[in-house]
Structure 1
Amino acid sequence: MAGLDSAIWQQEPGWLQKKRQLATILQARFPKQDGQDEWLGAWEGERYQSGESTGLINHNGDYIARPLSQAVTEYSEILQENLMEKAISWQDGQLNAAHLSRIDGGQFIYVPDQTTVTVPIELAPTLVGENPHNVIIVGAGSRVTIQETAQMTNLGAVYAGSELLVGAGAVVTYRQANRFEGERALQAVHVYQAQGSRVQLAYGQDSATDVSTSLYSFLDGRQTSWRADVVIRGAAGTRQKLRPVLDGYGQGTTGRLYVWGQSATLADLQFDQLKTGSGEPLDIKEKVQRLTPEDSLFDQLPAASWLKNKLAHA
């Protein structure tokens, strides 16, 4: 656990130390989150660690990339304003506050306004911590594809957060198929979208452990769209949970969710219905297919699906 007088990273800026401390102090005042005791209880016990994280990227040019531990100092102003404020909010619940106080790795990516990144950004680190976190900021009018295939080797309870902050009119394709090795995992992929932005999410999960997936986007304004294609395969004896929530409202603003779930025991696929968090009249639709091992999952997916190609070779 992060102490009140200590940082997790060397040369951690004062604003982050204070933010971690505040999260620790206020944690008990926030609402409880579903299943949080499985994580909080595990974090109070032995801390699992096995070596150093590898594969995080440094890049200067059409976009900026840094390990998050480095970016909190080098890009302090932008992260002080955005880290766990707009997409994954640290004040939304006790587990989120605990995650902020323990963030121990991850990636920072920044795409400036009006920038087209022609080659997909490949993010494929091996992360050893319990609380990795990505912050991805895409400026107004920019276009980018990011493909994340991280290996999470921690043997305990892992909370992996990815938050995307997408500027007005930007077009973002975000593809993720992370693999977890520990006793349980929570993968949050949360987005804040400014007016007129479009996000296409492809999310795959087939780790041989219990995984809870939280998908969220706040669609802020007119002509904003979010679409997610999700493939979840449950290994024998594991529970796979999916909680999709959208918020926001605007003329021509839409949310679409397509889910393919496969497990030997369909009761182990616990998929919540797509809903709005605040009851706003957002145009949302979903289609969910639950398949047994005898069904051909990959025949159900679009031929050009990134998930089809990625999971078939996992």
Structure 2
Amino acid sequence: MLPLEDAPRSEAVPRPEVTRLLRTAPLLLPLLLIAAWLLIDRRSAYDGAALFVAADPWWLLAGVLFTGLGWVSAACVRQGAVPEPLPPGPLLASQFAAGAANHVLPASIGAHAVTLRFLQRQGVPLARATASLALYSLVRPVAKTFVLVAFVVASPGLLHLGDLVPDRRTLFLAAAAMALGLLTVALLVTFVRPLRGLVRTALTDVRLLHTRPCRILALWGGAAAAPLLQACVIFSVGAALGLSLSWTQVAFAFLAASTMAGAVPAPGGIGPVDAALVLALVAFGTTMGLATATVVGYRVLTVWVPLLPGALVLSELVRRKVL
């Protein structure tokens, strides 16, 4: 009888059923996440669907168009953040799929994970792909701040700034959170060696990208256009429901609300941004009910309508090994 350690080991061969399950799991995961989302937030989905019955369909169609242009702007920013040329069609499809993942996980983790996988599939090294995500995350809020300042400078009399500016306590908390975040980043870069290499890679790519006018236009132009397109979606939904505010007021309300509440790591910004946006619209003179209905309709167009198609595109990209 052979000793136990000398006994021949039989290699475990996975059964066909297990192999098939492992292959289909990435395709079914987005649909399972959507089902979980429906169970958690089914009231918003029901209320939003009810709004579309009485809304102006032409304004809603305009909102759908602006929603689609938002994915184009996201694709432009992603291209502007990497020196390598990316295929336009798969890039746009990946951003459409990333939108579905972004509304499931907080702080844009889902969208970044999809984009990181796409960039690696396109031959971008991991360090440079990760650096591009950091640049994307930095450029978006900076560009939004520039657009917000431009609104304040261009229309100082039209915008009721006194009703929207937060109090001193809120400003202090925001400043403290920003300082703590910068200190944390500085400490990590100082003491974590891989992060120092990542920062060097990012700075090298930033210098290279800003020597190419087409990359500058894609990066900063796409980042500046993104919040304006979101504001166009909100204005279109509001016009479909009878909102009487001007586009400038709606755009500034969205910029102020998303800037103040965007630091909260909610999935796709849903929750804090919605509450701040409702209050901003009310501050401009609309009713609470109409402001709430506008925000719910905006979420229906930007989250619920594209969620299932985005999940299907995500599954197809995984199946085709684009992701």
TM range (shorter): under 0.3
Task: Please report the TM-score for the alignment, with normalisation by the length of structure 2.
Answer: 0.27
Higher helix fraction: Structure 1 or Structure 2?
2
Q: Which has the higher contact order (CA 8 A, sep 6+)?
A: 2
Task: Please report the TM-score for the alignment, with normalisation by the length of structure 1.
Answer: 0.27
Q: Which structure would you say has the larger Rg? A: 2
